[in-house]
Structure 1
């Protein structure tokens, strides 16, 4: 007896399931066929609904409009019924032409009579239909009634119709289901379905029994070939017909690709600039590429040796692999100075990571290294050039800002030498220029060596209110101030004196941008997902051109004629020192918005 877990038996079970499927499908189709009459009724309901809509739309005015047009508003009931039947006859026949075997017409609520274009002017409906008319009128919605068995019954539909907002009566239609040909189609469908299912079962059963033996034999051949591939990738599976042949060819191609990939890996490891060292769980070296061997000074006979034995004496790299292999510790971008004879001191950027399998078990460790000596040398040279350029820009800005006040002072002194009589205006101007120089020197000193920040836990809303109180008393008489301070904000990690200077500078700039008045909006908000506190200052001033936004925080850049250009530069430095961010958005003619982001205190940071 074959064991139940063999591939052959599994295939037999699968085929049995596939053969059972048509049987289940047959049962399901019988159920569907039984319900097909219901589907037919729904189709007929929809058709009658369309007929009622067309008949309703064919009557443009009301029934009373027809009587008025015939000058029969005062006629007797029987005369009105006769006139309406004659007037509606053509409309009913026109719509009926599109729906053969469907009878339709109107029911007048006022006359209590059916209007179907016939010559029967007396009471022309049964009590049953009278009840259906009343039901549709009282519910004011379409009523559908099926009478008798669906295959030989009658389907009736009654729909209220309105004119000028007034309920006129009922539009009705009915159809004798026995006159339709849908049931013949259902019977034909049933017969064809049974024949197809029977043929499919016979062909499937016979074909399956013929193919099963060859299929199992071919599968066994492939299984034996795959076992050989486990130890020798140069082995090839035998050719077999059909889908199994495609599997054999695919496995053979995969084996060829694995051989090629192995060769590619060897070439790639030998040519990449980054060093790579791979060890297994036992500490045996599996991979060392050429770059790692040269960079780390490893022994040339490294294959299958313990990693502690292949690194030079005093090398820190073996200890890094030990930490990773034993503690599952991942190390990222460690900069290690490494001295080798003949190569001098190299700056090696090292990263290590444990290797785990699909079960999460450690199977080894990998060390990646890169010689960044030349890159660091180039970066230092670039930084030196940037510092020199920044110094030149700073000197140029200082010279420009100092030259203007000195020119004014020099002109007035020359004037005094000629007139020997200094005027109060000239003295005041000299005083203002000296004050400006003093302010410039103070800001330069702060910019080059900022005051030491005293961080602590502080209420951001309280600081904003303090700054706004100052501006309300001095500057904001001609501005509309809008406060939108968030509630229950966490404390901010900041130096309140330095952040007060930042907000004072931003709000002062906003006021300067609105010389004719405007709206100043100050808001605070907490972003819990990023753990940031935000202060927003918006004005409706002149705005800043887009080409100036990138230079806005540069020293000595100012869009005002008498601006020094250090305020926003200092504000930017203060926010950066707080570990925060400052952003600006502006549109010329519409205003500017500054956003300052501050972080909240971290665990272990002392309060104020």
Structure 2
């Protein structure tokens, strides 16, 4: 597949993914927005219904108040025009009075056997057939709050019954008022029948408003008004819509229908809404997906308005918008694919020229160049390819010259390896010899035919473990210095040699073979032995002269005092003390001389220098306090383990610290520091603030009997240096007069400690 096709497919795939994401996000956004709009509309409609219910309740209460005031005014007027005695009043008089005061009917009630009966009435039907109904109204009036009022100097009681909807399809309402002033033998009841109130309920009531809202909005399936107090406690029956606010408050369904019911879920939603929470719920009822809302109404208290919306129109809008987006996206994708294919062809043209030039270069033809007509990145790339071609031509000529030089160098190195006096041989990882030089044949007495491809026994049996350890160190990446050891020749002769072992790696850095350079050390060892003997004789002569000189002085003193004792024949205790001190001095010189001369049996162990020096400081701390000296220690937090003889190192540290204490007669600070050096060793430095050592005396320190102290022998530094040398370490002394002296002792760390330090440095 060409780059042009790949580029077109990749960009088309990216555009396709973006278009799909656009459709998904657009649909999600549409769903969220429609849901938010739907919830906002439902909330708005619920508020409108709530306002309608509230206004209807307020209007109805105002209507009842107007009727009540009318009945009360008519009752007072009737009482003013009627005789106090029932016998003096006729039904015709009541008919005329009813017309005059503006009521439908006036009845006079008397109480017999605990029940009210109609004694006089402007309507003859009240006298004949309606008497039992007065008993029911009597019970209703007992639940009504009676009003007390001062009229014509008398206290009266007045109350009314609730409004009753009567007539065919509730075409009018009835309301009764009851008047009792306590002066009459009867009670006045005024009755009003109002034909206009029903039209108010039909026009302004919630049922009319809900029906109109459902008719105007086909998405609304149902609107229900719940009485949260009664809903769930009383059975829901198919009853006509409430005509009055009182009926609304006395039913579990105040208004509307309740067809899309989910009893338990609706009860939970109504309860939550009554507590002040607005509930929106998506569900399926009667096989139809709907959205239900439950919103509380402020007045009357405890009422919840529930609206059921059909979800299908909203989903159809979403589906229509999704289909439109898909069609638009497909058209855009086709246009983008065609444009990308055309643009890819334009972009790939200069790349074809560059590809042609690369093919020319791959065949070694560097002369032809690309014609560059562009200044964009591809034009710059073409220029770089032309420059690269020219440079490759130059480099190829240089490589040919370098190849000839390498071939000459290889011949030279082979000649050098064969002509060198050091034996060189290479073994593979299995121990088979793959290459030897002439010096190897001469040293180990094997011919090249005998050595190549074979495993030779060049290492003595007791050194095999050491040789295996060396191979492991090489595999771990360590660089090994030359080491002196023993090898075995073909004839079985043991020879002392110095061996340098190095790994041979491939291009990936893996070890493929091991090269060893072996140098015969027999002659050099003999020369070194002769030099050591010569040095020993020289040292013995120096020591003998020094001991003779040092012992002669106290002996002269002893001889003089003894002659004086013989001549005077007197015992002088002071002379005896001096002679004893001189004998002690002779004993000290001889003891240190024996320490230096007598071979010491040493047993090296693995110890941490920090703990050894810490013990020495603790031992000398009391003496330092007496001399007004303070130790300042700075020990490394890393392990400083070495192979040593602990008591000998303590002797060295004691000698150095005592010298520091004696160099500070006025007191001061002695700084003791231990740290790891960069060369795999432990550095111990002891610095004082004493009188110092003159620069010309420093090279002579360590010579037998050379000292700058009046009571010293000069053997302490010499013994200390010998101990440090036996530990393969060094001792360095730096001093300035009246400033102080710094003694630095370097001791090699254990190999595993050195490996840990190297790995931590690499990490």
Q: TM-score, normalised by structure 2?
A: 0.41
Q: Which is higher, the Rg of structure 1 or of structure 2? A: 2
